[in-house]
Amino acid sequence: MQQFIAYTIIGLTIGAIYALASSGLVLTYVTSGVFNIAHGAIGMISAFVYWQIRFDWGVSAPLALLIVLGVFCPLLGMFIERFVLRDLGAANEVTRLTVTVALMAGLIGAAAWIWPPDARSAFRGFFEGNVITVLGVNIGMNKIIALVSAVIVAVLLRYLLFNTRLGVQMRAVVDDRDLAELNGARPNQISSASWAMGSVLAGYAGILLAAEVQLNIIPLTLLVINAYAAAILGRLKSLLYTFVGAMVLGLLEAYLLWTSGSSWFPKSFFGFNTGGLRQAAPTIFLFICLLALPQAKLRAGMVRVAQRSREPKWSTSVLGSVVLIVGVIALTALLTRANTIFLAQCLLFALAVLSLVPLTGYSGLVSLAPLTFAGLGAVFMAKLPGNGSVLTLVAAVAIVALIGAVVALPALRLEGIYLALATGAFALLVSTLIFNQQKVFPNGSLDVPRLRFFGVDFQQPREKVIMLSVVFAAVSLMLVAIRRSGLGRQMVAMKDSPLAGAMLGMNLLKVKTVAFALSAAIASLAGALDAGKVPPDRYSLDSSLPILLLAIVGGISSIGGAFFGGVMLGTNTVMATAIPSLANIAKVTPGFIGMTLGRNVNGVSAQIGDGFRPMVEHRPSVIVAIVGPVVFWTLTTVDIVSNWQFFGLLFMWALGTIGLLPAILGGTSEMRRVLVPLTIAGLIAGFVSTTVDLPTGGRMLCLIVAATVVVQAARRKMEPNAPAAPVHSPDFAGLTTPFSARELQEVDDAIGVVP
């Protein structure tokens, strides 16, 4: 009986911490309409800041708590609302959710950079060592404080939202921002206040939780994610049900901890260790809560659409595939073995990013588990008979595609944030119950065999890279065919308006299932082709976040955007490995790049394509751009220039093609005045980087600065001037900005208007 009481008290205190975290999450969602995936990361970074002030600098606990909860957390919340989230009004729910994922990844990287593991000491809770005896059970003061705080916070938040003017304004702003503003509310200030309060609650929960799990970045962040289950039980609205759900979750985890140590509890099941069942309990609870939600209703109404999804052309797609394969063949002839291996990693990342194109880009569905399906592909490739044969690869891809369809079926009742959380819960379940099994990853790694095709086992790095380029090109052309087919048009229609699609007789369940299965199959292909010894953490949830981020940053609706995002992710990893001084910067780069989505919801590839379309349409520039690299490659193969000089010449030629040729051969006088001097400056910087004896980091910096200056100048000056904004905004869905001159011309051409 005493053990039961002890574990009940432990469960209540754990539930109290979850209640604090989930209350802050509900507060920000109810008052701003944004589900903050980074809520746990805010609590994690706040715990680190408290440790820095309290234990490293020696400040007293009350003063340190006041600084963190009274200054740091409110300022962090207001900063996030003002500079990260405020510009997302025209973005859809996928982009808004992804920005908070980017914030989570950025905070995780920042914590790993500022507080390396060897610089952290023990984290002690409040009144460490002081206990209170209740029914013969000693309870630490940290747990008592957590329990009392949770009750007080729940009561105060209930009173704030329903009995104060500020709370009523907070809820009114979410229901109808414009109407609330007409009645005297100030939406921006109210949203800032709600995010400040939500960050304070997240920070307080993180500090209390750090006393239980210490300063471990990923466990501290993901353990607070367990509070999402409590928030979902309350439907992200009810603070009472959220509090009850947190307590139930805490008790469930404590009782599983008690029973897992009992002699009657099975230690294994069909050869799988059951030790991870307790860690997976909150995730299972979250999954059950999500499945218990009523089916999402199809909603009608005027929706502003800022994202574009152009139908790809066969000519452009085939040309791009040929250029990719030929370019890889030519490039790998010059690269060292180590650099060729890095290029293979870039292509594998690009293939993983490509898996999100049909799911998120075409269909508008969010998945936080792309690398989970990649990991399953690697597992089946290693465990199925055949030792890497093509039949083994086909079987592995087919099995994972079936798993993706089966997993999607219960989740297809959901949409938006609920669907994203369901896929995240699936990723955590697989990581905890499968990837952490000694039977699956013996000795902490999985030996994935190399693909064998017609006697070729792709053992050499160059053979592997060429094979990956061919696979990427083939999958890309398959996606182009799907996008141009009836199925692709149904996917895009479902993304634009599920209600309209259902009214026209579209089977939404079928389209969603196909999208999930196709995405899982492509992701599994990336994992199955990742030959060698791979650790299980390569396929964890936190590793999937940069995949989603850079996919959307690159342009999730296009093949080029997926390739751009994968190359960015691979380059980021390569730079961190090749240049150790940039390793810390590489940790935060994906997250902080993803935070810029509010200013460019269509992705980098769409922005580049729009900015440089005049250059592409200028035939002399295209011819010169193609001839240059061929000449440089020929000079390198006959040992007239070195490999580094080849890349320097190629870089400078790209700058000249982008900046100088269109301005000289077909540009206006204004373009020449701006582009010519800037491009010359970029060429000089590129020349310095290739001729002056600089460290590798200095050369990379010169190249990056030169490229940034020239590309930004060229993009701005080569875009046609937009017409003046009308006095009144157009009352049409999807027209959030005036048409540009090029868009008006495209409309005229499409309907046959002759000026």
From residue 501, give the alpha-carbon distance in Å to each of 111, 488, 506, 734: 45, 13, 5, 17
pLDDT band at 301 (very low <50, low <70, confident <90, very high): very low
Please list the residues that pair with 532 across neighbouring strands: 448
CA 711 to chain centre: 26
pLDDT of 284: 76
pLDDT of 103: 84
Residue 125 has pLDDT above 90, yes or no: no
CA distance 258 to 252: 10
pLDDT of 395: 93
Residue 168 has pLDDT above 50, yes or no: yes
What sections of 216-336 are H helices per DSSP? 217-225, 227-233, 239-260, 277-292, 314-332
Residue 300 has pLDDT above 50, yes or no: no
pLDDT band at 114 (very low <50, low <70, confident <90, very high): confident
pLDDT of 148: 86
pLDDT of 579: 59
Give the mean pLDDT of the chain. 75
DSSP 268: E
Residues forming CATH 1.10.3470 domain(s) in the chain: 2-113+126-258
Query: What's the pTM?
Result: 0.76
DSSP 452: B
Q: What confidence tens digit (pLDDT) does each residue in 569-598 have? A: 776 666 556 555 556 666 676 666 666 655
Nearest of 703, 456, 461 to residue 575 by alpha carbon: 703
CA distance 343 to 600: 28
Residue 691 has pLDDT above 80, yes or no: no
CA distance 114 to 96: 27
Q: What confidence tens digit (pLDDT) does each residue in 715-754 have? A: 454 444 444 444 444 444 445 556 666 666 676 666 666 5
pLDDT band at 602 (very low <50, low <70, confident <90, very high): low
Lowest pLDDT segment from 49-63, 304-318, 433-447, 455-469: 304-318
pLDDT of 21: 82
Q: What confidence tens digit (pLDDT) does each residue in 614-645 have? A: 555 556 666 766 777 777 778 777 777 666 66
pLDDT of 582: 59
By DSSP bridging, strand 272-273 and strand 446-448 are unpaired
Residue 80 has pLDDT above 80, yes or no: yes
CA distance 554 to 572: 14
pLDDT of 450: 85
Residue 345 has pLDDT above 80, yes or no: yes
Both tokens of 159, joined, read 């009173």
Residues above pLDDT 70, as percent of the chain: 67
Q: What confidence tens digit (pLDDT) does each residue in 535-567 have? A: 888 888 777 777 777 777 667 777 877 787 777
Nearest of 747, 752, 732, 755 to residue 304 by alpha carbon: 732
Residues above pLDDT 90, as percent of the chain: 10
Residue 314 has pLDDT above 60, yes or no: yes
Residue 194 has pLDDT above 80, yes or no: yes
Angle between helices 508-528 and 486-496 in degrees, nearest 10 = 110
pLDDT of 725: 42
Between 136 and 425, residue with greater pLDDT: 425
pLDDT of 726: 43
CA distance 311 to 608: 17
pLDDT of 261: 57
**Locus of tokens 């079928």:** 510
DSSP 468-510: HHHHHHHHHHHHHHHHHSHHHHHHHHHHH-HHHHHHTT--HHH
pLDDT band at 51 (very low <50, low <70, confident <90, very high): very high
Cβ atoms of 156 and 14 closer than 8 Å = no
Both tokens of 260, joined, read 């897992």
- Look at the chain and count its residues: 755
- 727 by DSSP, 3-state: which? coil
Q: Residue range 485-504: average pLDDT? A: 81
DSSP 131: E
pLDDT of 610: 52
Q: What confidence tens digit (pLDDT) does each residue in 315-340 have? A: 878 888 888 898 888 888 877 787 78
Burial of 313 by CB count in 10 Å (0-12 exposed, 13-18 middle, 19+ buried)? exposed
Q: Right CATH number for 2-113+126-258 from 1.10.10, 1.10.260, 3.40.50, 1.10.3470?
A: 1.10.3470
Q: Residue range 437-443: average pLDDT? A: 80
Between 234 and 42, residue with greater pLDDT: 42
Most confident range (mean pLDDT) of 391-400, 428-437, 698-707 is 391-400
pLDDT of 380: 92
pLDDT of 517: 93
Both tokens of 462, joined, read 């160059």
Q: Residue range 192-215: average pLDDT? A: 86
Q: What confidence tens digit (pLDDT) does each residue in 383-417 have? A: 898 887 889 999 999 999 999 888 877 666 666 67
Q: Residue range 68-78: average pLDDT? A: 92
Residue 609 has pLDDT above 90, yes or no: no
Between 292 and 230, residue with greater pLDDT: 230
CA distance 749 to 682: 37
pLDDT of 634: 80
Lowest pLDDT segment from 48-52, 75-79, 131-135, 240-244: 131-135
Q: What confidence tens digit (pLDDT) does each residue in 239-287 have? A: 778 888 888 888 887 777 777 655 555 555 545 555 556 666 777 777 7
Between 32 and 42, residue with greater pLDDT: 42
pLDDT of 629: 75
Nearest of 375, 351, 331 to residue 570 by alpha carbon: 351
Classify each residue of 85-116 as buried b or exposed e, where b means 16 or more C-beta atoms within 10 Å of its C-beta.
bebbeebbbbbbbbbbbbbbbbbbbbbbeebe
pLDDT of 722: 41
